[in-house]
Amino acid sequence: MTATTAETTARVRKVFRPTWVDTFLWAIRIGAILVIAWGLIGSIQNFAAGRGLSASQWRDLIIAGLSQGAMYGLLALGYSMVYGVLGFINFAHGEVFMSGAMVGFIAANWLFDAGIWAANPILSLLIVLAVAMLTSTLVAILVERVAYRKLRGAPRLIPLITSIGVSFFLQYTFATLFGVGVRTYPQAPEMFAGALSIGGFRIGKASLLVIVVAILSMIGLWYFVTRTKSGQAMRAVAEDKEIAALMGIDVDRTIVTVFAVGGAMAGVAALMWAILFRGVNFFTGFLPGIKAFTSAVLGGIGNLVGAMGGGVLLGLFEGVGPLLILGGLGIPGVSQLKDVVAFTALVLVLVFRPSGLFGERLGSEDRV
């Protein structure tokens, strides 16, 4: 008896079950797509009409976005690995990166004053890289030891709040020690200025350097995670800490390794920042940190290749997006809204696909 009406209505509800929250989310999704599409169309029209940027300017934007994205990607690895293993967002990772950039600046400045910077640029860059990596690694390990180790197994939000505290502590440690002003790295050595032409495709040497360094680091990291014993231990601990411990893996040491590797990658990213932007101060780590986290989520948190991919995508989006979409909508002063675009990307990623584009890789406890 009952079947007909109740059942049919219920069957429809089974598929959609549209509460008004769902409706709202769909509205956001559709709205976002419409806005983006509209902006794109506007930009294409402008382009066709010869207004706005030229093709070569667009290309430069894309390359700038790519190199910046490579930096985000390296930074995202740190978020992704820590989340994969310990299940919390290490909010202070951006500050680990900033420490590398700040101390790297001291090294670069010293090299510049000593004349080595001009005389032997490659050696100088390697020294700055080593100093930045060492600093970031050390800071990361120290933070783990002092702040996070005691919090294993605490409710999820407690380590997150702690990391916010660590983040501000580190920021203002640098602010009070070095002053709040922006310090500028010395001009990049001659050989990295200008552009190269590869097969008719012009690319800035600095951007190229950044991209090459990112690829090399990624290969190194991939080798480390998949081929070495510590890398395997890392993956085991990420999957299940207790069982890993039962298998004779030193969990504490492995977690330190995770922080160290994440820190080292942040150090590499610090060098990239120095090459791309040159200016550093205590606040340098904050926005890149949040953007890198966005990249990690975009790529699927816990997924290392995804983190890199997410970084590149976000970099591209941030480089091109404001002009392409907002410019196409006819909004003035788009460069001011660069960070708004990045944050909106974060919100949209989490609304559209919270498990990321390439899928999450989380341990048994963190999979919900």
Q: Interface with another protein by CB under 8 A: which residues?
A: 1-2, 6-7, 10-11, 13-15, 17, 19, 21, 24-25, 28, 88-89, 106, 109, 146-147, 149-151, 154, 156-162, 164-173, 175-180, 290, 293, 297, 331-333, 336-337, 339-340, 343-344, 346-347, 350-351, 354, 368
Residue 275 near residue 192 (C-beta atoms within 8 A): yes
Taking the least distance from each CB to another protein, the nearer of 114 and 122 is 114
At closest approach, how far in Å is the CB of 52 from another protein?
A: 17
At closest approach, how far in Å is the CB of 199 from another protein?
A: 39
Taking the least distance from each CB to another protein, the nearer of 68 and 163 is 163
At closest approach, how far in Å is the CB of 6 from another protein?
A: 5
The amino acid present at 289, given as its one-letter code, is: G
Q: Residue 185 region, left (φ>0) first, then alpha (ψ -120 to 50), else beta?
A: beta
At closest approach, how far in Å is the CB of 136 from another protein?
A: 18
Q: What angle do CA 311, 312, 314 make, to 5 degrees?
A: 65
Taking the least distance from each CB to another protein, the nearer of 47 and 178 is 178
**Roughly what angle, to the nearest 10 degrees, separates helices 121-143 and 157-178?**
130
At closest approach, how far in Å is the CB of 42 from another protein?
A: 15
At closest approach, how far in Å is the CB of 126 from another protein?
A: 21
At closest approach, how far in Å is the CB of 184 from another protein?
A: 13
CB atoms within 10 A of CB 80: 32
Q: Residue 17 region, left (φ>0) first, then alpha (ψ -120 to 50), else beta?
A: left
Q: What angle do CA 42, 48, 52 make, to 5 degrees?
A: 65
Taking the least distance from each CB to another protein, the nearer of 110 and 224 is 110
At closest approach, how far in Å is the CB of 95 from another protein?
A: 10
Q: Find the DSSP H helices in the chain.
A: 8-16, 20-48, 55-86, 93-113, 116-119, 121-143, 157-178, 205-227, 229-239, 241-246, 251-276, 286-299, 304-321, 338-352
Question: End-to-end alpha-carbon separation of the chain, Å?
Answer: 40
Taking the least distance from each CB to another protein, the nearer of 145 and 202 is 145
Spatial distance between the Cα atoms of 109 and 278, rounded to a whole number of angstroms:
12
Q: Is 120 helix (H, G, I), strand (E, B) or coil?
A: coil
Supply φ then ψ for residue 308, to 5 degrees.
-65, -50
Taking the least distance from each CB to another protein, the nearer of 15 and 246 is 15
By the 10 Å C-beta count (0-12 exposed, 13-18 middle, 19+ buried), 196 is classed as: exposed
Taking the least distance from each CB to another protein, the nearer of 28 and 305 is 28
Taking the least distance from each CB to another protein, the nearer of 67 and 163 is 163
At closest approach, how far in Å is the CB of 156 from another protein?
A: 6
Spatial distance between the Cα atoms of 95 and 85, rounded to a whole number of angstroms:
20
Taking the least distance from each CB to another protein, the nearer of 115 and 333 is 333
